[in-house]
Chains A and B, each alone.
Chain A
Amino acid sequence: MNTNLSPDQREILVQFRALIDKIISPVADQWDREETIPFEVIQTLAQQGLWGINIPENMGGQAWDMMTLGRICEEIGRGSASLLSLFTVHGMVAQVLMKWGTHIQKETWLPKLAKGHVLGAFALTEPDIGSDARRVETTAVLSGDVYVLNGKKKWISCGQIAGLFLIVAQCDGKPSAFLVPKDTPGFSQEPIRDMLGFRSAMLASLCLENCPVPRDNMVGVIGTGFSHVAGTALDHGRYCIAWGSVGLAQACLEASVRYTHKRKQFGVYLKEHQLIQEMIANMVSGTKAARLLCCHAGYLKDAGDPDMIMETAVAKYFASQNAVKVALDAVQIHGANGCSGDYPVQRYLRDAKIMEIIEGSSQIQQILIAGHGYQVID
């Protein structure tokens, strides 16, 4: 596995890093307080091609490789985990359309998603259904030329502003997936506020009341909504979140190094205290290890290797756990300052906890990883 970046990849990342430092990091705390990301920022990022990173060029996207996409996720996660969340779910919808969309679905939606004219959101979770996602209770019943959808979805990232929703519902008692534009009759969104983290990810509850969805809006076939469609989406989501967790941990590390350079206690800078050095050393090594796991997953993805799915789960599990550990240490190093709104580390900690829950909780990853371990080791 070669983890060196090509000159093209390096140039792209330098540009994005500068962009994140200029228009994201300085205002991410304000977005967190206001629980929103301004529309102008989404437009600016669209001009940079961010929303079409994984979409083919003939559909208006950038068609960048998965390693580059991952590194960009790291940079976004370093600036704002909430923005990373929008980017993740948008990419999940695009990834599903690229893999399982019909020709018409691709032609209709991918150019709009690539340009950021429409943002996508993935709607699997419901008020009573979380990890046990195969058992979603939303229903789709064929009536003439349309499927009629009824049900509720909850904790949907980007739900307040997305224009296209990928909804998983039971059809003939089997999980199935549907594209539902936000202007579909009977479809409504309600903002969710006061979350612990990802506060500016504009989460929403969705309500579908007798929503007529054209038959052609089914993605895949009846019964593949979880196994193949959600499977594709969640794999992409875990990959983005794993890299975003690396970025979040990197932000914690950078904030802690800077803070310990300038703050004195007992007559010396904090960085001179060995117990501080211990925390910094753990932050550095844990974050490097997480990044390497993400690189491995990205390498396998670019090679089309089926092992990418398990390695992505491993990377997501490790990187999100590391993000929480590193964020806890960052707050500890900052002391009372770290608990205040004057420093971003309190946001990092709140956001890190969400990383362990979204796109499959750590416990679900543990079950999958342990099961795999028992299979491959005699």
Chain B
Amino acid sequence: MPDCTAVKAGRVFTLTKWENRVSVMIPNNDIKKTVCTFLNRHIKNHEFQGDEAIFTSALFNSLFAMQLVLFLEKEYRIKVENEDLDLSNFNTLNAISAFVEQKASCDCHEH
């Protein structure tokens, strides 16, 4: 499970501890910006829009799906699992952002 208190410095987090429960809020715009930077490592000079389809575009190679999963897992200390494997979670910046927000919150509650 992610260690919410050890998330890297420089990011904006709100941590609220009550008994053993921790909630984390990652600003939505921050996620989009960070994911966009990751996407631009693969596709240069392309301004990704929030609702632009990523997976159904021909921009990325066959390795990209797993690279994105690993990036999200490492960057946000979440675990993408079987029940998360809905392509609509990953197809746009908006969807990714919403997924990460929801996942980070859930994982930290479990933590």
Contacts and interface: CB of A to CB of B under 8 A. Distances in A.
A371 interface: yes
Interface stretch (A265-273, A282-290, A308-316): A308-316
Which of A101, A227, A313, A371 is the most central at the interface, judged by chain B CB atoms within 10 Å of its CB?
Answer: A227
Interface in B70-90: 70-71, 73-74, 81-82, 85-87
Given A231-B63, A231-B66, A101 B74 contact: no
Given A228-B85, A375-B42, A304 B70 contact: yes
A228 to B, nearest CB: 5
Given A223-B87, A375-B41, A304 B62 contact: no
B6 to A, nearest CB: 14
Nearest to B68: A306
A101 B85 CA distance: 11
Interface in A340-378: 368, 371, 375-376, 378
Which of A226, A303, A304 is the most central at the interface, judged by chain B CB atoms within 10 Å of its CB?
Answer: A304
A46 B28 CA distance: 48
Nearest to B74: A304
Interface in B1-44: 38, 41-44
Contacts of A304: 70, 73-74
Which of A101, A227, A306, A371 is the most central at the interface, judged by chain B CB atoms within 10 Å of its CB?
Answer: A306
Contact of A313 (B41, B63, B69, B71): B63
A135 interface: no
A221 B62 contact: no
- Interface majority SS on B: helix, strand, loop or mixed? helix
Interface in A193-241: 219-221, 223-224, 226-228, 231-232, 235
Interface string A308-330: 11100100000000000000000
A106 B7 CA distance: 30
Contact of B44 (A227, A308, A375): A375
A228 B65 contact: yes
A305 B70 contact: yes
A134 interface: yes
Nearest to A312: B63
B49 interface: no
Contact of B61 (A226, A303, A305, A371): A371
B102 interface: no
A224 B87 contact: yes
A376 B38 CA distance: 12
B85 A221 contact: yes
Given A304-B74, A306-B67, A308-B70, A226 B43 contact: no
A231 B85 CA distance: 13
Interface string B41-65: 1111000000000010000011101
Interface string A141-170: 000000000000000000000000000000
Given A223-B87, A224-B85, A305 B63 contact: no
Contacts of A375: 41-44
B42 A220 contact: no
A332 interface: no
Given A100-B82, A228-B69, A309-B70, A368 B63 contact: yes
A242 B25 CA distance: 41
Given A304-B74, A375-B42, A376-B41, A309 B85 contact: no
Contacts of B86: 221
B4 to A, nearest CB: 17
Given A220-B82, A376-B41, A231 B87 contact: no
Contacts of A308: 70
A102 interface: yes
Interface string A125-144: 00000000010000000000
A175 to B, nearest CB: 11
A305 B74 contact: yes
Contacts of B61: 368, 371
Contacts of A223: 87
A100 B85 contact: yes
Interface of B: 38, 41-44, 55, 61-63, 65-71, 73-74, 81-82, 85-87
Given A304-B70, A368-B62, 6 more contacts: A221-B86, A224-B85, A227-B87, A304-B74, A305-B74, A308-B70
* 5 interchain residue pairs of minimum CB distance: A227-B65, A306-B70, A231-B66, A306-B71, A306-B67
14 contacts: A134-B62, A221-B87, A226-B62, A227-B66, A231-B62, A235-B63, A304-B74, A305-B70, A306-B70, A309-B63, A313-B63, A368-B61, A371-B61, A375-B42
